[in-house]
C-alpha cells in the first residue's frame, strides 16, 4: 500500500532499522504512519473520515471531488476494543471509511478461531454496514471490491468492511517460530495460491503480457531490491541529540535545557581514551 501511495520503501525500512519512527510526510502521500499498537489506526481513520464528511466532501455533485479513507488491519486486531468502537462510530456517523481486514489467519501464533467464531466479514452486519469477503490472493477481485467500497463511501453510503482472506506465508517476526503452531502441509497448500503467480498466469492466458514484459518486471524488481539493500545499509546514524527533536511543535524550554546538558556531557568525552569510559 505504501508503494502504491508513492512512499519510498527506504523510509519504511528506516523505521525498522531503528533510524526513525516513520520518516515520511503523511500529507505528501495521503498515507498515515504506522501506529503499531494493534487496531488503534481504525479509530483515526474513522475520525478522519468524519472530517471528510464535515467538510462536505462526500456525495457531492462532482464525484471527482469526493473523498474517503481506507484503513488496514489484521484478523487479530478485530478483537481489540478500538476496532469495534471504530465500527460503531463509523456506522452511526455514516463516515466515509473502508475497513480492510487482511485476514491471514494468524495473529502471531494464534489461529483465527481464537479471535472469532463467525467469518469476520459477517461482523459488519451487527454494526449496521455491509461486509464482504474476498479472495485476498486474487489481485483483481481485491481491487474490484476495494474500488466498489471506496466509491460507496465517497458517494455518502458510509462504511464497509472488506475481509481479504489470505495466509501469512512466513514468520510474524524474526523472533517468531511458526513450526511451533502450524503444520508444513498447510503452508504448502497456500504456496499454490500465490497471488503473484496467479496474476502472472492470468496475464499470460489473456495474452496481454509476454516474456519480455515479465523479464523487464523481474529486472526492475531486482534493481529495486539491490538499491534498497544498499540504501538501507548506508543509512546515516541519527545524531544523538535527535532524541530531543519534535517532542512539541514549538519546543520546550525544559527540553532545550536537557538537550544542552546532554550535549555538554557528550562533549566531555572528547578527550577520553577510545574504548574506555572516563
Partner 1 sequence: MTRTMTLGKAINAGLRTAMEDDPKVILMGEDIGRLGGVFRVTDGLQKDFGEDRVIDTPLAESGIIGTAIGLALRGYRPVCEIQFDGFVYPAYDQIVSQLAKMHYRSAGRLTLPVTIRLPFGGGIGAVEHHSESPEAYFAHTAGLKVVACSSPAEANVMIRQAIASDDPVIFLEPKRRYHEKGEVDPEISVEGAFPLHASRVLREGTDCTVVAYGPMVRVAMDAAAAAASESGPSLEVIDLRSLSPLDMDPIFTSVRKTGRMVVVHEAPGTLGLGSELAARVQEECFYSLEAPVLRATGFDTPYPPARVEEHYLPDLDRVLDAVDRCLAH
Using CB under 8 A, list all residues that contact partner 1: 15-21, 36-38, 76-77, 79-82, 107-110, 114-115, 175-177, 180-181, 237-240, 242-244, 247, 254-255, 258, 262, 265-266, 268-269, 277-278
End-to-end CA distance of the chain: 49
Q: Let me know if 180 is exposed, middle or buried by CB neighbors in 10 A (0-12, 13-18, 19+).
A: exposed
Q: Let me know if 226 is exposed, middle or buried by CB neighbors in 10 A (0-12, 13-18, 19+).
A: exposed
Q: Answer whether 220's CB lies under 8 Å from 241's CB.
A: no
Shortest spacing between CB 198 and partner 1, in angstroms:
29
For residue 250, indicate whether it is catalytic.
no
Shortest spacing between CB 220 and partner 1, in angstroms:
29
Catalytic residue among 154, 165, 167, 168: 168
Residue nearer to partner 1 on the CB measure, 55 or 273:
273
For residue 34, indicate whether it is catalytic.
no
Residue nearer to partner 1 on the CB measure, 201 or 276:
276
Shortest spacing between CB 227 and partner 1, in angstroms:
21
Shortest spacing between CB 86 and partner 1, in angstroms:
14
Residue nearer to partner 1 on the CB measure, 3 or 265:
265
Residue nearer to partner 1 on the CB measure, 36 or 140:
36
Q: What is the C-alpha to C-alpha distance for residues 103 and 164, in angstroms, rounded to an integer?
A: 6
CB hemisphere CA count around 4 (13 angstroms): 2
Shortest spacing between CB 258 and partner 1, in angstroms:
5
Q: What is the C-alpha to C-alpha distance for residues 118 and 254, in angstroms, rounded to an integer?
A: 52
Q: What is the C-alpha to C-alpha distance for residues 94 and 105, in angstroms, rounded to an integer?
A: 29
Q: What is the DSSP letter of 236?
A: P
Q: What is the DSSP letter of 273?
A: P
CB hemisphere CA count around 170 (13 angstroms): 4
Residue nearer to partner 1 on the CB measure, 37 or 224:
37
Catalytic residue among 181, 213, 229, 265: 181
For residue 172, indicate whether it is catalytic.
yes
Catalytic residue among 29, 133, 172, 182: 172
Q: What is the C-alpha to C-alpha distance for residues 70 and 152, in angstroms, rounded to an integer?
A: 12
Residues carrying an active site annotation? 168, 172, 181
Amino acid at each position: 500500500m505504501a508503494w502504491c501511495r508513492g512512499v519510498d520503501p527506504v523510509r519504511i525500512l528506516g523505521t525498522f532499522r531503528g533510524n526513525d519512527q516513520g520518516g515520511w510526510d503523511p500529507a505528501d502521500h495521503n498515507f498515515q504512519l504506522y501506529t503499531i499498537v494493534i487496531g488503534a489506526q481504525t479509530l483515526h481513520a474513522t475520525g478522519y473520515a468524519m472530517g471528510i464528511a464535515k467538510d462536505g466532501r462526500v456525495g457531492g455533485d462532482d464525484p471527482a471531488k469526493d473523498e474517503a479513507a481506507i484503513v488496514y488491519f489484521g484478523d487479530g486486531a478485530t478483537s481489540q476494543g478500538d476496532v469495534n468502537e471504530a465500527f460503531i462510530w463509523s456506522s452511526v456517523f455514516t463516515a466515509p471509511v473502508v475497513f480492510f481486514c487482511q485476514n491471514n489467519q494468524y495473529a502471531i501464533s494464534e489461529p483465527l478461531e481464537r479471535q472469532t467464531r463467525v467469518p469476520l466479514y459477517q461482523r459488519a452486519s451487527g454494526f449496521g454496514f455491509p461486509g464482504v469477503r474476498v479472495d485476498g490472493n486474487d489481485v483483481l477481485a481485491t481491487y474490484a471490491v476495494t474500488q466498489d467500497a471506496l466509491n460507496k463511501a465517497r458517494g455518502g453510503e458510509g462504511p464497509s468492511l472488506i475481509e481479504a482472506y489470505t495466509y501469512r506465508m512466513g514468520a510474524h517476526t524474526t523472533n517468531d517460530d511458526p513450526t511451533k503452531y502450524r503444520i508444513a502441509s498447510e503452508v504448502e497448500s497456500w504456496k499454490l495460491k500465490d497471488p503473484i503467480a496467479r496474476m502472472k498466469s492470468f496475464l499470460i492466458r489473456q495474452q496481454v503480457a509476454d516474456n519480455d514484459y515479465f523479464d523487464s518486471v523481474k529486472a526492475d524488481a531486482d534493481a529495486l531490491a539491490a538499491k534498497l539493500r544498499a540504501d538501507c545499509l548506508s543509512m546515516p546514524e541519527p545524531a544523538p541529540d535527535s532524541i530531543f527533536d519534535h517532542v512539541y511543535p514549538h519546543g520546550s524550554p525544559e527540553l532545550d535545557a536537557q538537550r544542552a546538558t546532554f550535549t555538554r556531557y557528550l562533549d566531555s568525552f572528547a578527550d577520553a581514551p577510545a574504548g574506555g569510559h572516563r
